[in-house]
């Protein structure tokens, strides 16, 4: 190593200690920092909470000039800059919330070389005015945060990110460091291609979070299931409960509060002040359960969150990884717990169908949906499935997920599937799971009499299973794509090619045996 670089590294360690108050670098941080201080480009793949910020903050302070940080998260920008200023780092941000006078001030500081770090949103960076300012300034580096936004594969595609290729063209002398917590191969390739980083060194830390135990259970009474999980496993501890909508957040928060739990709600429909207060209280106090939409969590850096619970599946595997990754940052055992049911699968499929994205993006969405459903229904190790999705092979079953701890039984479901599917056909492909199940069980409900379904040949042929059993059969058929849920017709189940293959006996079906739900308040399944 050249002596100058050696000296610089000494300086980096000093900053780590004196400014940030940390004793040692974490895995790969030092290597990345040395690489960037030496003036090279890089791509950093590191899970959320891994410590990406230091990888550009320290080089920005050590190299001459200003480090330009491109981030789409305006709200986080302000927090980060406030934190840096407190530590005595010369940092500033530019975004649309800043008054004109303040903007001019910051711009002058940049050109005068008075800033170590400047945070900007991509749309601001890409203006002619700003690019011109950059050309007049000394630049230490470009840090491109949330770099997966450049990819349509990512969960968060932002078209303006693709225009960041301009950095390579106009500032070829300035090192660029792209960072993301999304590591799947298509995303990685897109980042390299669009940001001109095909020859840049890639730094990837493993994505495994060994202290997190993954559990996914079928939904029957979600609030009750959640309550039992919390009482049995995490009484008095901090946790996050994710719900899909604002309304559901409010419902769950008040339901849990009624049961005497310490809960706070958080969603984008609440006013900014209340949101802030709730977040602060959650961060400060022990043992609060935050019931929230996905609006909560970006930049939440609380080490002792002991569980993250989902009462609906997240939008994608990436979201699942990110959201559950907020648990157990301190390395102590933590739970990622989820419950989901037939209705959820219908809702996710509906969401993908209803979007008006271009063909190519819809195809990607379908692919992602299939991956998510596969993960939910898998009978083998969840960690292997999760990490496999991110291209991070995990050699053995992990021993710390529900399927490893309580291996699932599977059963030959070919006949049950045939009964379930022909029942759909005989009743005219117009009904949902509830009605179809009543027909199989041979119950003379009002609708069954009304539609004459007590006269169809499938009436009463399914008494070997109960309601929950048939719900499980239909859910697994739906999530494996062996039937079609028609959203234009109120979620009516219909047959598709895969269904006919099963009906004709060309395809065998194996179902997993859902764990039996707890009857009393003892023992939650998956515990």
Per CB under 5 A, residues contacting Zn ion are 381, 383, 397-398, 401, 404
Task: Supply the minimum distance, in Å, between the C-beta of residue 12 and ligand ADP.
Answer: 11
Contact 19, 88 (CB under 8 A): yes
Taking CB under 6 A as the criterion, the residue among 8, 25, 324, 390 binding ligand ADP is 25
Give kind and range of the element (H or E) at residue 98. none
Report the 10 Å Cβ neighbour count for 519.
Answer: 7
Instruction: Pick the stretch among 32-40, 45-53, 86-94, 341-349 that binds ligand ADP (CB under 6 A).
Output: 45-53
Phi first, then psi: give them for residue 310, nearest 5 degrees. -115, 125
Instruction: Find which of ligand ADP, Zn ion, none residue 404 binds, CB within 5 to 8 Å per kind.
Output: Zn ion
Name the CA radius of gyration of the chain, rounded. Answer: 26
Crossing angle of helices 128-136 and 100-112, rounded to 10° = 30
Crossing angle of helices 414-426 and 467-479, rounded to 10° = 90
Task: Supply the minimum distance, in Å, between the C-beta of residue 25 and ligand ADP.
Answer: 5
Task: Supply the minimum distance, in Å, between the C-beta of residue 214 and Zn ion.
Answer: 7
Scan for tokens 């040692």, then name that residue.
Answer: 24
Task: Supply the minimum distance, in Å, between the C-beta of residue 334 and Zn ion.
Answer: 15
Taking CB under 6 A as the criterion, the residue among 49, 65, 434, 481 binding ligand ADP is 49
What is the C-alpha separation between 112 and 106, in angstroms, rounded? 10
Closer residue to ligand ADP in complex, CB, 43/492: 43
What is the C-alpha separation between 332 and 317, in angstroms, rounded? 23
Instruction: Find which of Zn ion, ligand ADP, none residue 381 binds, CB within 5 to 8 Å per kind.
Output: Zn ion
279 is a site residue for ligand ADP (CB under 6 A): no
Using DSSP's 3-state secondary structure scheme, residue 137 falls into coil
User: Which residues are registered as beta bridge partners of 298?
Assistant: none
Task: Please give the size of the binding site for ligand ADP, defined by CB under 6 A.
Answer: 13
Which of the 8 DSSP states describes residue 45?
Answer: E
Could you list the beta-strand ranges (E) of 166-310.
176-180, 201-204, 212-218, 239-242, 263-266, 289-292, 307-310
Instruction: Pick the stretch among 41-49, 252-260, 379-387, 439-447 that binds ligand ADP (CB under 6 A).
Output: 41-49
C-alpha closest to that of 384 among 392, 424, 13, 359? 392
Instruction: Find which of ligand ADP, Zn ion, none residue 383 binds, CB within 5 to 8 Å per kind.
Output: Zn ion
Task: Supply the minimum distance, in Å, between the C-beta of residue 337 and Zn ion.
Answer: 14
26 is a site residue for ligand ADP (CB under 6 A): yes
Instruction: Pick the stretch among 51-59, 111-119, 189-197, 404-412 that binds ligand ADP (CB under 6 A).
Output: 51-59
- Output the DSSP codes for 440-475: HHT---HHHHHHTGGGSTTTT--TTS-HHHHHHHHH
What is the C-alpha separation between 311 and 169, in angstroms, rounded? 47
Structure tokens at 232: 């049995």
204 is a site residue for ligand ADP (CB under 6 A): no
Restricting to residues 52-91, name those near ligand ADP by CB under 6 A.
52-54
Task: Supply the minimum distance, in Å, between the C-beta of residue 26 and ligand ADP.
Answer: 4
Taking CB under 6 A as the criterion, the residue among 15, 28, 37, 46 binding ligand ADP is 46
Give residues in contact with ligand ADP (CB under 6 A).
22, 25-26, 29, 46, 48-54, 301
């Amino acid at each position: 190593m050249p002596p100058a670089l050696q000296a610089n590294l000494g300086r980096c360690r000093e900053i780590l200690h004196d400014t940030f108050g940390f004793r040692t670098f974490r895995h790969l941080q030092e290597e990345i920092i040395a690489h960037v201080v030496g003036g090279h480009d890089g791509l950093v793949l590191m899970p959320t909470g891994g410590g990406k910020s230091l990888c550009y903050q320290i080089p920005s302070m050590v190299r001459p000039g200003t480090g330009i940080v491109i981030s789409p998260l305006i709200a986080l920008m302000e927090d980060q800059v406030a934190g840096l200023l407190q530590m005595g780092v010369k940092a500033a941000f530019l975004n649309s919330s800043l008054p004109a006078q303040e903007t001019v001030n910051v711009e002058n500081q940049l050109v005068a070389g008075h800033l170590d770090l400047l945070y900007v949103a991509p749309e601001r960076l890409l203006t002619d005015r700003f690019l011109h300012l950059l050309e007049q300034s000394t630049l230490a580096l470009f840090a491109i945060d949330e770099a997966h936004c450049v990819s349509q594969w990512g969960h968060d595609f932002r078209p303006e990110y693709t225009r960041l290729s301009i950095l390579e063209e106009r500032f070829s002398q300035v090192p660029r460091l792209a960072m993301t917590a999304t590591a799947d191969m298509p995303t990685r390739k897109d980042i390299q291609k669009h940001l001109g980083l095909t020859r840049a060194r890639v730094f990837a830390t493993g994505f495994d979070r060994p202290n997190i135990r993954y559990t996914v259970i079928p939904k029957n009474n979600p609030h009750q299931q959640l309550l039992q999980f919390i009482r049995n496993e995490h009484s008095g501890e901090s946790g996050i409960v994710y719900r899909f909508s604002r309304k559901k957040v409010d419902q769950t928060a008040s339901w849990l509060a009624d049961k005497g739990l310490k809960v706070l709600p958080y969603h984008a429909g609440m006013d900014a002040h209340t949101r802030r207060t709730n977040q602060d209280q959650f961060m400060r106090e022990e043992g609060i359960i935050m019931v929230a939409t996905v609006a909560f969590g970006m930049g939440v850096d609380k080490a002792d969150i002991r569980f993250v619970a989902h009462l609906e599946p997240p939008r994608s595997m990436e979201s699942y990884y990110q959201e559950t990754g907020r648990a157990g940052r301190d390395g102590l055992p933590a739970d990622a717990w989820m419950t989901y049911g037939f209705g959820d699968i219908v809702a996710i499929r509906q969401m993908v169908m209803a979007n008006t994205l271009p063909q190519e993006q819809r195809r990607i969405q379908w692919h992602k949906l299939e991956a998510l459903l596969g993960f939910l229904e898998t009978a083998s190790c969840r960690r292997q499935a999760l990490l496999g999705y991110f291209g991070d092979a995990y050699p053995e079953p992990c021993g710390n997920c529900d399927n490893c701890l309580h291996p699932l039984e599977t059963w030959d479901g070919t006949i049950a599937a045939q009964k379930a599917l022909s029942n759909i056909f005989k009743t005219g492909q117009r009904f949902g799971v509830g009605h179809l199940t009543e027909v199989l069980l041979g119950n003379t409900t009002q609708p069954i009499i009304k539609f004459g379904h007590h006269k169809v040949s499938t009436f009463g042929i399914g008494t070997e299973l109960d309601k929950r059993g048939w719900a499980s059969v239909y859910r697994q058929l739906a999530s494996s794509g062996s039937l079609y849920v028609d959203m234009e017709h109120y979620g009516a189940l219909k047959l598709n090619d895969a269904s006919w293959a099963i009906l004709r006996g060309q395809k065998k079906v194996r179902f997993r045996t859902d764990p039996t739900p707890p009857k009393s308040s003892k023992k939650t399944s998956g515990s």
